[in-house]
């Protein structure tokens, strides 16, 4: 098969890429269940970009809807801490011939799942601030990300951060289940589907757990006891019930007022049966953390979602006084999820 005029064709790691000739020096930088990503150079602008090829996006209705949703959401995003869309193309010359299409986005050096080595608290503070700025924008647009995790948080060498991958995102008006979020980063209420899935605080907990994991693993805010080092990242070795128990060993088991709010009888009975673990002293667990950082963590790790701050409220915390700028808070156009 010959390439479409003005397109070049090459095979990269057993995947055929057919892209406009202006995109050169393709190199695979990532792959997943839904697509592969290559870096490339736009010879017209001389900028480095990331090109995502979706894996067989029209093989089923579910895949097609996911691809369509991701395309629409990327087009909607206009915030420096949220990935946006630079270009979209297909090598097909007619609608009937479309089998593949490609999304072109800004190139980012790496993602936070690959971060290694020491990070100072001011860098961790800056990363968390940017995550919250991006989340505030996403939430105010009426969108819930639903898969916030280190692999979907891209960074450059100067610690600039962008939230990636909106394939699982939904409008806040949509009916949703909590089980799509990658297990390690589920909020406690999502683990057992305790409450209605709304935007208030759900991804905030995921951010906080990641923040704790980053601090511990990078020895920025060292954990006093290795027992707690990965308490919020229990991976697949634990069932979700075990994960929740480990979380509550640090955050404390909630009281009867919170239990009454739960929708699930199973969740109520589960929490009632737990030993009365007290809340750990975060200043002991994280002795190198600043007082303001500890205060923010404590507020963001309140198990009751009604009491936990949203991204917008968290950004008002004194911990971010040195970073807060009006330009970081643009108002998004509300996202319209209608076909």
Q: What is the pLDDT of residues 213-239, one digit of tens each?
A: 444 433 333 333 333 334 444 333 334
From 100, 147, 165, 328, active-site residue: 147
pLDDT band at 6 (very low <50, low <70, confident <90, very high): confident
Range scoring the smallest mean pLDDT among 227-236, 308-317, 325-334:
227-236
Q: How do beta strands 47-54 and 35-42 pair? A: antiparallel
pLDDT at position 289 is 78
Rg for the chain, CA atoms, rounded: 21
Contact 141, 334 (CB under 8 A): yes
Q: pTM for the complete prediction?
A: 0.80
Does 96 or 8 have the greater pLDDT score? 8
pLDDT at position 328 is 96
The average confidence (pLDDT) of the chain is: 77
Q: What is the pLDDT of residues 45-94, one digit of tens each?
A: 999 999 999 877 888 888 888 888 888 888 999 999 999 999 999 988 88
pLDDT at position 44 is 95
3-state DSSP assignment of residue 182 = coil
Q: How do beta strands 153-155 and 143-144 pair? A: unpaired
In sequence order, the β-bridge partners of residue 31 are: 36
Using alpha carbons only, give the angle 108, 111, 115 rounded to the nearest 5 degrees.
125
Q: What is the pLDDT of residues 128-174, one digit of tens each?
A: 899 889 989 988 888 877 777 778 889 998 989 999 877 666 665 54
Inform me whether the pLDDT recorded for 180 exceeds 50.
no
3-state DSSP assignment of residue 137 = helix
pLDDT at position 331 is 93
Query: Mean pLDDT across the stretch 118-129?
Result: 83
CA within 13 Å, CB half, 195: 17
Inform me whether the pLDDT recorded for 320 exceeds 70.
yes
Inform me whether the pLDDT recorded for 36 exceeds 50.
yes
Inform me whether the pLDDT recorded for 301 exceeds 70.
yes
Inform me whether the pLDDT recorded for 210 exceeds 70.
no
pLDDT band at 240 (very low <50, low <70, confident <90, very high): low
Among 219, 221, 191, residue whose Cα is nearest residue 205: 191
Rounded distance, CA 288 to CA 127, Å?
18
pLDDT at position 4 is 61
Range scoring the smallest mean pLDDT among 34-38, 81-85, 263-267:
263-267
Phi, psi (rounded to 5 degrees) for 197: -85, 100
Q: Chain-centre distance of CA 262, in angstroms?
A: 26
Inform me whether the pLDDT recorded for 266 exceeds 60.
yes
Q: Which residues of 197-207 are buried (b: 16+ CB within 10 A; e: fewer)?
A: bebbbbbbbbb
- The answer to whether residue 122 is catalytic is no
Q: Chain-centre distance of CA 20, in angstroms?
A: 30
pLDDT at position 19 is 95
């Amino acid at each position: 098969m010959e390439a479409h005029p003005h397109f070049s064709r090459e095979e990269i790691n057993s995947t055929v890429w057919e892209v406009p000739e202006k995109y050169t020096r393709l190199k695979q930088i990532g792959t997943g269940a839904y697509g592969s990503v290559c870096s490339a150079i736009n010879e017209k602008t001389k900028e480095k970009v990331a090109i995502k090829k979706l894996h067989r996006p029209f093989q089923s209705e579910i895949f097609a809807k996911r691809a369509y949703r991701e395309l629409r959401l990327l087009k909607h995003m206009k915030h420096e801490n949220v990935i946006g869309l630079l270009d979209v193309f297909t090598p097909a010359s007619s609608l009937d011939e479309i089998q593949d299409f490609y999304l072109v986005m800004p190139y980012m050096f790496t993602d936070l799942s690959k971060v290694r080595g020491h990070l100072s608290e001011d860098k961790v503070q800056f990363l968390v601030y940017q995550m919250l700025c991006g989340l505030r924008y996403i939430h105010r647009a009426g969108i819930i990300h639903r898969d916030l995790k280190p692999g979907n948080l891209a960074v450059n060498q100067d610690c600039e951060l962008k939230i990636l991958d909106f394939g699982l995102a939904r409008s806040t008006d949509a009916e949703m289940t909590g089980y799509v979020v990658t297990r390690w980063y589920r909020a406690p209420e999502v683990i057992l589907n305790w409450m209605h899935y709304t935007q208030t605080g759900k991804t905030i907990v995921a951010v906080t757990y990641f923040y704790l994991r980053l601090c511990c693993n990078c020895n920025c805010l060292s954990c006093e006891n290795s027992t707690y080092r990965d308490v919020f990242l229990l991976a697949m070795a634990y069932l979700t019930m075990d994960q929740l128990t480990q979380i509550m060993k640090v955050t404390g088991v909630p009281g009867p007022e919170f239990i009454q709010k739960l929708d699930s009888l199973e969740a109520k009975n589960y929490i009632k049966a737990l030993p009365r673990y007290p809340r750990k002293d975060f200043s002991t667990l994280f002795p190198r953390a600043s007082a303001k950082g500890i205060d923010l963590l404590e507020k963001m790790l309140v198990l009751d979602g009604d009491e936990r701050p949203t991204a917008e409220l968290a950004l008002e915390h004194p911990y971010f006084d040195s970073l807060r700028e009006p330009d970081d808070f643009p108002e998004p156009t509300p996202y319209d999820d209608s076909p």
